A and B are shown apart, each in its own frame.
Chain A
Amino acid sequence: AQSVTQLDSHVSVSEGTPVLLRCNYSSSYSPSLFWYVQHPNKGLQLLLKYTSAATLVKGINGFEAEFKKSETSFHLTKPSAHMSDAAEYFCVVSDRPFAGDKIIFGKGTRLHILP
């Protein structure tokens, strides 16, 4: 069975500084991993996904994440935060999404951007 842990419920960074949102996972297979963003009163948007190709995944809006099997981590990073990045971020894992395995959401990390 798979699980996902987002290590921080809140992260605050100053505008223009790097962002790091941490995610650890547990999986019985080679998992698929995703990061979604949810802006206030908006729908969920996929930032990026890892599905067993390149371990460094680039997403939209300058975000990227690195799959590290040895550390069972899939941390989300961005070199320079922008005010528009303030949102809730969800790390998501699925063992075999197209074989009917469930897709499991982490509890979320709220990113605050300080001016």
Chain B
Amino acid sequence: SAVISQKPSRDICQRGTSLTIQCQVDSQVTMMFWYRQQPGQSLTLIATANQGSEATYESGFVIDKFPISRPNLTFSTLTVSNMSPEDSSIYLCSVLAVPYNEQFFGPGTRLTVL
């Protein structure tokens, strides 16, 4: 299986600040994704992180608010910019591992914005 780690595991931030979340995979993968899970809700896809090019964002999510980097096939970052309390969520990194025909998820980053 693909093992995914995320940093930080949780954080409490002030309104107006930014937080960068890191995602590290133990193997090279083509497709990496970032999801948001708001309290008591399901997962919503924010964007697909593309290696060597700009991320592909879903409707309702924009690059200025959620800039994403993907410098190589094992690492990605998601920044939550100019945070407000509505950004309080769990943010999850995910990869699609072709050999296993399966999508794997990181443990998530629990963000609370005051």
List residues of A whose CB falls within 8 A of some B CB. 32, 34, 36, 43-44, 46, 49, 51, 90, 92, 97-98, 100, 102-103, 105-108
Given contacts A98-B96, A98-B98, contact A44 B105 (CB under 8 A): yes
When the two chains form their complex, are residues A43 and B108 in contact, meaning their CB atoms are under 8 A apart? yes
List residues of B whose CB falls within 8 A of some A CB. 31, 33, 41-45, 48, 58, 92, 96, 98, 101-108
- B68 CB to closest chain A CB (Å) equals 16
Known: A34-B102, A98-B98. 13 other contacts (CB 8 A): A43-B107, A43-B108, A44-B92, A90-B42, A90-B43, A92-B103, A98-B96, A100-B31, A103-B96, A105-B43, A106-B42, A107-B41, A107-B42
Q: Chain A residue with minimal CB distance to B44?
A: A105
Within 8 Å CB of A49, what residues of B? 101-102
Complex Cα distance A92/B101, Å? Answer: 14
